[in-house]
Amino acid sequence: MELFAVIMAGGVGSRFWPRSKEKKPKQLIRIFGENTMIQDTVKRLEGLVANDHVYIVTNKVQKMRVKEQLPQIPEENIIDEPFGKNTAACIGLASIIIKSKNPDAVTITLPADHLIKDEEQFRKCLSTAVDFAYKTKGLVTIGITPNRPETGYGYIQFDEKGIDNNIYKVLTFAEKPNLETARRFIESGDFLWNSGIFIWHVETILSEIKKHLPDLSDGLDKIEECIGTNDFEKQVVLVYGQLKSISIDYGVMEKSDKVYLTKADFYWNDVGNWEAVYEISEKNEDGNAIVGDVYTEKTFSSYIFSPRKFTAVIGVENLVIINTSQALLVCDRNNAQDVREVVDYLKMNKRNELV
């Protein structure tokens, strides 16, 4: 058994505008520390997955920056999708490529833009999942113990009677709930946050795609026939042009009877918007998280980012202020999810230089 990793890195991070743009989205910028998020994602796999077994799935616009930021990853391992078709197509494409290298491979599939601490525990958790996935041909995901009734995450209900070393049978998946439902999930004790991290044998996931997403499976079969030939890229474009956009959660995980989870014993955050960045960031005595040349007076509980020019903020609270060379965002922290609407507006008005 050989271990591979698939890092999904094709998103545009529209809720992180104006820092995140199509050519340089959230996963390719530095939000915490010296590394970008994708660099940290690859780094935390060190000692578990060899660099030549790491595959990055991105798009043509972002591929060059991915290569620049990850010189240790072979160029042929950076796969660019012609169109974004959600996670089922992304995972299917990577899986047939890895299968062509080793049909007995186990893959760890994970997003490029999550924040994870306690890396030793993270790798230990993955090792447990890898062993179980290889031994049983089950589909394993990682569940995060909730510490609040979060409405921005999906949830997984599990059977509290464990079946192996920190392995539990998954009962149901739940979409992002309203606050009352999230509270009920927490009180029940048998719901975890869905991390979006998956571990499975490559043949198993392709078999489950064939069972539950036959149209995608047919397309993948056509692409697989062209791996290693001059027709590969052309075939990918043809197949992707006909695919429906569907997530692996909805398309496979919610329907399969082979789904298990392991409970995480590490800090995890999907850093979904500027509010999440504020919550994670170090704050001063006024509750402000500040990056750059900033003056504040009577300002509280705000996230202020302005590294390129002096910014003064007076008499406000609970704001997100992102000041870049091209644009300024001022937003109540409670409305951080709505930042993506700015990107929609700019695209509609053909302000492409700002997105």
Same domain, residue pair 318 and 237: no
* Same domain assignment for residues 264 and 306: no
- pTM of the prediction? 0.94
Are residues 175 and 297 located together in one domain of the fold?
Answer: no
| pLDDT for position 125 | 95
pLDDT tens digit string along 106-160?
999 999 999 999 999 999 999 999 999 999 999 999 999 998 898 889 999 999 9
Residues 245, 210, single domain; the answer is yes
Q: Are residues 200 and 279 in the same domain?
A: no
DSSP track, 270-308: ---SHHHHHHHS---TTS-EEEEEEEEES-BS-EEEEEE
Same domain, yes or no, for 257 and 294? no
Judged on CB neighbours under 10 Å (0-12, 13-18, 19+), 144 is buried
Q: What domain count does the chain have?
A: 2
Q: Is residue 207 located within the same domain as residue 115?
A: yes
Same domain, 121 and 159: yes
- Whether residue 166 sits in one domain with residue 315: no
The predicted pLDDT at position 312 comes to: 98
State residue 332's pLDDT score. 97
Tell me: do 252 and 298 sit in the same domain.
no
Two structure tokens written together for 50: 């060899």
Q: What confidence category does residue 164 fall into, taking pLDDT thresholds of 50, 70 and 90?
A: confident
The Cα–Cα gap between 117 and 335 comes to 27
Low-confidence winner among 89-93, 143-147, 295-299 (lowest mean pLDDT): 143-147
Give the C-alpha distances (Å, rounded to integers) separating 193 from 110, 113, 186, 204, 261.
15, 16, 10, 24, 11
Average pLDDT over residues 238-261: 96
Q: Report whether pLDDT(20) > 90.
A: yes
Which of 213, 237, 269 corresponds to the end of one domain? 269
What average pLDDT does range 30-39 have in this prediction?
A: 94
Domain with 55 in it: 3-269
Which of 269, 290, 306 is the endpoint of a domain? Answer: 269
Dihedral of the alpha carbons of 46, 48, 51, 53, in degrees to the nearest 10: -160
Confidence class for position 34, pLDDT limits 50, 70, 90 = very high
CA atoms within a 13 Å half-sphere pointing along the CA-CB vector of 179:
0
User: In angstroms, how far apart are the furthest CA atoms of the chain?
Assistant: 64
**Cβ atoms within 10 A of the Cβ of 156, count?**
26
Residue (of 311, 306, 283, 282) closest to 295 by Cα position: 311
Distance from the first to the final alpha carbon of the chain: 43
Query: Residues 6 or more apart from 120 whose CB is under 8 A from it?
Result: none
Give the CATH number of the domain where residue 209 resides: 3.90.550.10
Residues 264 and 288 in one domain: no
Q: Kindly state the tokens that stand for 19.
A: 């820092």
**Is residue 221 domain-shared with residue 325, that is, in the same domain?**
no
CA–CA separation, 165 vs 270, rounded Å?
A: 26
Token code pair at residue 196: 């979006």
Residue 231 CB partners (closer than 8 Å, separation 6+): none
Q: How far apart are CA 98 and CA 90, in angstroms?
A: 12
**pLDDT score for 150:** 86
The H or E element containing residue 208 is helix 202-212
For the cut 90, the answer to whether the pLDDT of residue 264 exceeds it is: yes
* Token pair in block for residue 147: 């510490």
Q: How high is the pLDDT of residue 265?
A: 86
Cα–Cα separations (whole angstroms), residue 27 to 75, 228, 254 = 18, 29, 27
Whether 292 shows a pLDDT value over 90: the answer reads yes
Residue 126, pLDDT score? 96
Q: How many residues does the chain have?
A: 355
Confidence of residue 268 (pLDDT cuts 50, 70, 90): very high
Stated as kind and residue range, the H or E segment containing 54 is strand 54-59
Nearest Cα neighbor of 123 from 136, 110, 139, 113 is 110
Using DSSP's 3-state secondary structure scheme, residue 260 falls into: strand
Q: Tens of pLDDT along 201-248?
A: 999 999 999 999 999 999 999 999 999 999 999 999 999 999 999 999
- Region 254-273: mean pLDDT is 94
Q: Which of 39-53, 64-78, 163-177, 298-312 has the lowest mean pLDDT?
A: 163-177
Q: Which of 238, 254, 269 is the last residue of a domain?
A: 269
Q: How far is CA 213 from the centre of its chain?
A: 22
